[in-house]
Structure 1
Amino acid sequence: MRQRFTARAVVVGDRVGTVVPDAVVDVTDGRIDWVGTAADAPPAGDAEVTAVPGLLVPGLVNTHSHAPMVLLRGQAEGRPLERWLREVIWPREARLTPDDIEVAMAAASAEMLRGGVTTSVEMYFAPERIAAAVGRTGARAVVATPLIPLPSLPPLAEQLRDAVALAARAPGDGTVEYGIGPHAAYTLPLPVLRDAAAAAREDGLLLHVHVAETRGEGADLLATHGLSVPALLAAHDVLGGRVLAAHGVHLDDGDLALFHEYDVAVAHCPASNAKLASGIAPVRAMLDAGLRVGLGTDGPASNDGLDLLADVRLAAQLARLREGSATALTAAEAFWLATGGGADAIGRPDLGQVAAGRRADLVHVDTRDLLFEPVIDPSDLLTHLVWSGSSRLVRDTWVGGRQVVRDGACTTVDAEALRADVAERARRLAAA
């Protein structure tokens, strides 16, 4: 199947913020063949031509999410992380059924697709049901099977065995892959973290773990072990391989050097960190230290949305506030964190950029709006997208060349029916 897309401009999704005006993107069998200006384009031949009046941008990569928590959106308002989890979230999650999780994931996936997010890293229960939901919507997901000591779950050793067995059953077509998601050093015994990391390295799986999210988390571990969280993980052979650390808010220079030594990537979650008053992560220092960094929404109960484009703007704003510098994180870098940088962070070089050889995960952002005026230089389109753009302007989304959102509506699932189903299930959880 050959497709040609024409657009006012393409935002490539690289670190320097390349914008191609009057652009053409050629796709064959779900992969991008060619990107450039219309003046330089090869003949279209028998390709199916789709003309979009605005920007074509890469499908956004959400590097840290617990998307089925749409069932808990808006719950436990005003509590810091530990109380938020223990007093409300974990007790309600104990009442979840696999059906609840699949319905919630389908609704969340539809929400993300309508906002231009085509890939998400999910750490949540019932991973096979999460994969089934993503199969319905047509999105992509890296599903890190969680390891966490909750009364409603099997023993941790059994959880790990199940996670490894499930990873071997991944389809291998780039739609869903499974990883291992040990929750955190403050909730799990260190030997479990070590065993999970060893299993992930053996099979080349993503190991996804919360690290240094709150100041108290690090202080407690430091008092007990005399080491920071990253140093503690290194000392117990948890680092190395495909490790993605969620949050990384409270990292000092030594921690950053350690992450660089082990090539640990970070999922930066500015909105969730701000809402729970966890702090502002040192993104500029991470990038300067050579770390791979992506952007994440975290769960929709602690954000409370899945709008990664909104997090792009917030990431840039908070970085500038933290550093006291208007150049601490450029618009191009902020957008790259949600696209090419995010793909690098999760070890998926086939995603995240509108570039030859990558998968044709494409998003059409309508620029026929006052938010996108004036445009003096093509690069203004990128800065307008970051500083004044909105996910409501996402009109169309393609995953591997397949259209999953058309004119703002999902083509694969009934979003309104899912909304009603989520509302009913959420009321049941809240009433128990």
Structure 2
Amino acid sequence: MGPVIHSAPLVLPVTRPPIPDGAIAVRHGRVVAAGPRREVLARFPGGEELRWPGVMTPGLVNAHTHLQFTRMAEVGRQYYDSFEDWSTTFDSVYFSSAGADWAGSAREGALLALRHGTTAIADVVTDIEAMPARQQAGLAGVSYLEVLGDTDASWAKTGRDHLTSTVRQFAGVRAGGTGAIGISPHAPYTLDTGVLADLAVLARGFGLRQHIHLLESVHEREYTVSGTGPIARLVRELGFDFEILRAGGTGQGPVAFLDTLGLLSPDLHVAHGVHLDGDERALLRARGVSVALCPRSNRTLGLDGPPVAALLEEGSAIAVGTDSLASSPSLDVLEDVRVLLALAREQGYRRPDLARRLFEAATDGGARALGLATGPGRVGSLEPGARCDFAVFAVDPGERDPYRTLIEDGPGRCVATVTGAHDSGRVHLTTSDPEAHRGY
């Protein structure tokens, strides 16, 4: 039996130029050929063809979200004056959610992600019952076990053993694919200094990737430098007795602080980076750290957008995330890319490659942030050897730049998402019915 051939009027492989009337051939859930439709059909004359309308792209990679908070959308539908204002509201809702069905909430989030063309996710998991949702939905990516609130004393007493036992519980699936796991130290202000350093050691020992929130709040720098400010007050109100508070800070900004502790490496990517300065961006580049930008979430929290123009001009590695529905209007990655396009222009980016580079960030860039851009089952591109993950958007670029058309017109217009969960691809048709997902 020949492979299944998926074709469309325009295919954007990302890693090479657009292919008018293009196609990919798929066997065993992997792309075996990509190119002009006539060439692919001639190469596999016995293959079954599925013709898709619109533009076919690699599946989007959501490089930062929390699927389990999908049912906390009431928090994300409001606008806030500051990160600290939002955090207070979030904590109130979260800590009053005893008995919440986090697994069900995460499953709903996974289906929403698929509906918007996302096929891989960096999912931060706070409550372990939400852990299987991404894998069950056939989404590639990494599920990051979140660690927060531990002092050095509580970590030594129970925290470290709890994390290592949980990692070992999932050890059989940590190597990659849909089952990959990682570690998420929540942020520089929610863990003690010794805990952050030990998490870096544990991640290297277990061969796991890491993901951390960084410089989402303008007050985070004051916290790490002097142990003062609104974040320090918030941390004290939550009852955390951290070394930084006792010592009056470290004298270092958040990025340098994490670097001193050994966290910065190509196996780590950070979320937000709204307040990164030039030296901090340079240090992240030197350490091979990607930054997942979440501009719509930042707006909900009353924050300025990230320095996307500077990151692009300087050649920093960037990806795109939505964050969760607890701080974002939707899980549509393209909506965030559209905001980044406007933001980069406002910040002075004038090169004609802007749309292409931002779409690359939402696909191949996200795959690189998650360590899934190379090797078997790689994602983020439509090349031979890659996982059969793609999305189809009902747009027609005509003579226009296809990347700009996709970013400006594509949000909300995904008509199908295909993942490599089955031999020839698992098709998720865009519909209001969450049960309308079928395999071919």
TM value normalised by structure 2: 0.84
Could you list the per-position Cα deviations for residues 257-283 of structure 1 after superposition, in whole angstroms to 9, with x for gaps in the alignment? 211221111111111112212222122
CA contact (8 A) 1:22 1:37 kept: yes
Q: CA deviation at 1:18?
A: 2.4
- Cα–Cα, structure 1 residues 99 and 403, in superposed 2: closer, same or farther, change >3 Å? farther
Q: Would the aligned equivalents of 1:19 and 1:382 in 2 still touch at CA under 8 Å?
A: no
Indicate conservation of the 8 Å contact 1:163/1:179, yes or no: no
1:242 equivalent among 255, 267, 271:
267
How far, CA to CA, are the matches of 1:303 and 1:283 in structure 2? 19
The aligned runs of 1:195-214 (5 Å cut-off) are 195-214=198-217
What secondary structure, in the 3-state scheme, does the structure 2 residue paired with 1:238 have?
A: coil
Task: Identify the match of residue 226 of structure 1 among 251, 266, 269.
Answer: 251
Which residue does 2:231 correspond to in 1?
none
Q: Give 5+ residue unaligned stretches, structure 2.
A: 227-248
Cα RMSD (Å): 2.5
Given the superposition, is the C-alpha separation of residues 103 and 97 from structure 1 closer, same or farther in structure 2, using an over 3 Å criterion?
farther
Among 335, 346, 357, the residue aligned to 2:370: 346
Kindly indicate whether the alpha-carbon contact (under 8 Å) linking 1:66 and 1:123 is maintained by their aligned counterparts in 2.
yes
Partner residue, 1:9: 10
**Any idea what SS the aligned residue of 2:216 has?**
coil
Percent identity between the aligned chains? Answer: 28
Counterparts of residues 278-317 of structure 1 (less than 5 Å): 278-317=303-342
Q: Cα distance 1:329–1:73, how it changes in 2: closer, same or farther (>3 A)?
A: farther
One of 371, 385, 402 as aligned partner of 1:357: 385
CA distance in 2, matches of 1:356, 1:40: 14
| Equivalent-residue separation in structure 1 for 2:99 and 2:121 (angstroms) | 19
CA change 1:287–1:69 in 2 (3 A) is same
Between the aligned partners of 1:383 and 1:249, the Cα distance in structure 2 is 24
Q: Structure 1 stretch 282-291 or stretch 261-270: which is displaced more?
A: 282-291
Question: Do 2:174 and 2:208's aligned partners in 1 also have CA atoms closer than 8 Å?
Answer: no
1:57 equivalent to 2:36? Answer no
Aligned mate of 1:174, from 146, 152, 177: 177
Call closer, same or farther: CA 1:137–1:404 in 2, change over 3 Å: farther
Q: Which amino acid aligns with 2:285?
A: H
2:89 counterpart of 1:84: no
Alpha-carbon distance change, 248 to 104 in structure 1, aligned in 2, over 3 angstroms: same
1:268-283 aligned within 5 A: 268-283=293-308
Distance 1:220 1:99 in 2: 32
Match of 1:130 in 2: 130
Once structures 1 and 2 are overlaid, which stretch shifts more, 130-139 or 213-222? Answer: 130-139
Which deviates the most, 154-163 or 344-353? Answer: 154-163
Checking the alignment, whether the CA contact within 8 Å between 1:6 and 1:24 is kept in structure 2 is yes
Name the counterpart of 1:21: 20
Q: Map Cα deviations across residues 53-96 of structure 1 (whole Å, 9 max, x no partner).
A: 211111100000012212211327333222322x3322332344
Confirm or deny that 1:38 pairs with 2:61.
no
Q: 1:402 aligns with which of 406, 421, 425?
A: 425
Partner of 1:336: 360
Q: Tell me how far 1:405 sits from its aligned partner.
A: 1.2
Whole-angstrom CA distance in 2 between matches of 1:94 and 1:108: 20
Letter in 2 for 1:355: E
Quote the Cα distance in structure 2 between the aligned partners of 1:161 and 1:313: 40
Deviates most, 154-163 or 283-292: 154-163
Q: Distance in 1 between matches of 2:162 and 2:311?
A: 32
CA–CA separation in structure 1 for the residues paired with 2:257 and 2:11:
44
- Determine the C-alpha separation between the residues in 1 that align with 2:341 and 2:265: 29
Other-structure match for 1:427: none
- Give 3-state SS (helix, strand or coil) of 2:223's partner: helix
Distance 2:353 2:186 in 1: 29
2:188 to 172, 185, 189: 185
Aligned residue runs from structure 1 range 348-387, under 5 A: 348-349=372-373, 350-367=378-395, 372=396, 375-376=398-399, 380-387=401-408
Alpha-carbon shift at residue 311 of structure 1 (Å) = 0.7
Which SS does the other structure have where 2:343 is aligned?
helix
Question: In 2, Cα distance between the equivalents of 1:236 and 1:100?
Answer: 36
Deviation >6 Å, runs of 4+: none
Q: Distance in 1 between matches of 2:176 and 2:131?
A: 13
User: Given the two structures, how large is their TM-score scaled by the length of structure 1?
Assistant: 0.86
Amino acid paired to 1:138: G
1:139 partnered with 2:139: yes
Q: Do the aligned partners of residues 212 and 407 (structure 1) sit closer, same or farther apart at CA in structure 2, a change above 3 Å counting?
A: closer
What is the CA deviation profile of residues 25-63 of structure 1, one whole-angstrom value per residue up to 9, with x for unaligned ones? 111111111111124334323322101121111110000
SS at match of 1:382: helix
CA deviations on 1:213-239 (whole Å, 9 max, x unpaired) are 111111221222111111011112222
What is the CA deviation profile of residues 332-377 of structure 1, one whole-angstrom value per residue up to 9, with x for unaligned ones? 111111101111111101100111111110112123xxxx36x125
Query: 1:303: how far off?
Result: 1.0
Q: Which residue of 2 aligns with 1:112?
A: 113
Equivalent residue number for residue 409 of structure 2: 388
SS of the aligned residue for 1:348 comes to coil
Q: What amino acid is aligned across from residue 19 of structure 1 in structure 2?
A: P
